[in-house]
């Protein structure tokens, strides 16, 4: 089989050839049909400081947003059959640590992440523990299945608390921010404001349900939000950009007692006035990582058919053309890049 892999500690990936993986009794083999590029894959591609901490073995097949067909299963596999189409939970939990024993599998102390700690799914075939496969109902479009993994991030970011009737500022209109925009509207948010420096992404956010658009390169973020909210500010900030400047400008707009969900990964640490903007404002802060296993998957399955994800998919390419997909993300021409794998 062929696969996209990180072969050395520097920018870029390579196409490699590997044998089809062999499974054990608790695993399944998936023939990958669709896969999509995540922001964390982009971190790995450019080889920033965050990525350098995540890789300890080369070559490493990358990719964790996957949809495919079960073609082989071990003798201990339950509730899955050959031919089932599945999505993938990308976090491999140990089932032994304290967090796992109290049901917080998504923050397992011994977590391994698909495509970083173990070989991923940008390949023809993928081997995973059967417990990490989520059988997909037939009424879900197969090309949307890889997007269910990042959509789970959006679901947990939006629904960390009740969103109904709230004014929301979404920082960063990448794929997860765009999915969060639609989820906010479906779940009854009042005014949804989206913020990005990319005009095309702002345009897509309007399609996904945004009520107001802010480009911080053109608008004064604080003044614009105050105008939109009758000088009140927003109740909720959902931060997906990983931009320290974007975060700093957004946080000034939140009301006292508001809520912040942080998902964006920052490439390096930065200074911030926590006293005035968190403590004195009595904010509630949620760090979002992965999805709650398995409850978020049920929410995502129930929500995905209420949202048309087509506007988010900007590129449909082959694995061999991966470099164009990553470079187009970096230069702002792509939103979600989908690999169609034969």
Cis-peptide into 336, omega within 30 deg: no
Reduced DSSP (H G I as helix, E B as strand, rest coil) percent helix, strand, coil of the chain, to 5? 30, 25, 40
Instruction: Quote the CA–CA distance of 79 and 23 in Å, as a whole number.
Output: 17
Instruction: Quote the CA–CA distance of 105 and 62 in Å, as a whole number.
Output: 22
Q: Give the pLDDT confidence score for residue 268 in this predicted structure.
A: 80
Q: Give the pLDDT confidence score for residue 333 in this predicted structure.
A: 92
In the predicted model, residues of the chain with pLDDT beneath 70 are none
Instruction: Quote the CA–CA distance of 293 and 131 in Å, as a whole number.
Output: 10
| CA nearest neighbour of 238 among 283, 192, 171 | 171
Chain segment 144-203, per-residue pLDDT in tens: 999 999 999 999 999 999 999 999 999 999 999 999 999 999 999 999 999 999 999 999
CB neighbour class for 146 (10 Å; exposed up to 12, middle 13-18, buried from 19): buried
Report DSSP letters for 244-264, one per residue: HHHHHHHHTTEEEEEEEEE-P
| Helix runs in the chain, H state only | 39-46, 49-54, 98-101, 148-158, 175-186, 199-207, 221-228, 244-251, 274, 295-304, 322-330
Phi, psi of 194 (to 5 degrees): -110, 145
Q: Are 100 and 93 in contact (CB under 8 A)?
A: yes
Q: What is the pTM of this model?
A: 0.94
């Amino acid at each position: 089989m062929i696969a996209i892999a990180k072969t050395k500690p520097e920018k870029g990936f390579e196409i490699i050839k590997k044998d089809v993986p062999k499974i054990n009794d608790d695993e399944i083999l998936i023939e990958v049909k669709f896969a999509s590029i995540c922001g964390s894959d982009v971190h790995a591609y450019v080889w920033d400081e965050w990525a350098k901490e995540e890789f300890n073995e080369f070559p490493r097949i990358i990719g964790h947003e996957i949809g495919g067909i079960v073609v082989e299963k071990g003798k201990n596999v339950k509730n899955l059959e050959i031919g089932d189409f599945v999505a993938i939970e990308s976090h491999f939990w140990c089932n032994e640590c304290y967090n796992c024993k109290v049901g917080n599998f998504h923050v397992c102390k011994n977590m391994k992440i698909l495509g970083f700690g173990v070989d991923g799914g940008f390949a023809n075939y993928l081997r995973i523990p059967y417990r990490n496969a989520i059988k997909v109902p037939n009424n879900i479009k197969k090309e949307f299945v890889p997007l269910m993994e990042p959509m789970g991030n959006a679901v947990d970011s939006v629904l960390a608390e009740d969103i109904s009737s709230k004014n929301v500022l979404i920082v960063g209109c990448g794929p997860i921010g765009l999915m969060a925009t639609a989820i906010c509207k479906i779940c009854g948010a009042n005014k949804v404001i989206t913020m990005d420096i990319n005009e095309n992404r702002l345009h897509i956010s309007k399609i996904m349900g945004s009520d107001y658009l802010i480009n911080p390169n053109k608008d004064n973020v604080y003044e614009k939000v105050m105008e939109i909210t009758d000088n009140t500010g927003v109740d909720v900030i959902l931060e997906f950009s990983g931009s320290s400047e974007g975060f700093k400008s957004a946080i000034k707009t939140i009301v006292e007692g508001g809520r912040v969900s942080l998902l964006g990964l920052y490439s390096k640490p930065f200074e911030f006035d926590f006293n005035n903007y968190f403590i004195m404002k009595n904010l509630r802060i949620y760090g979002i990582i992965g999805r709650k296993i398995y409850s978020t998957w049920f929410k995502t399955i129930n929500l995905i058919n209420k949202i048309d994800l087509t506007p988010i998919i900007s590129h449909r390419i082959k694995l061999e053309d991966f470099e164009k997909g990553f470079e187009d993300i970096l230069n702002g021409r792509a939103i979600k890049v989908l690999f169609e794998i034969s």
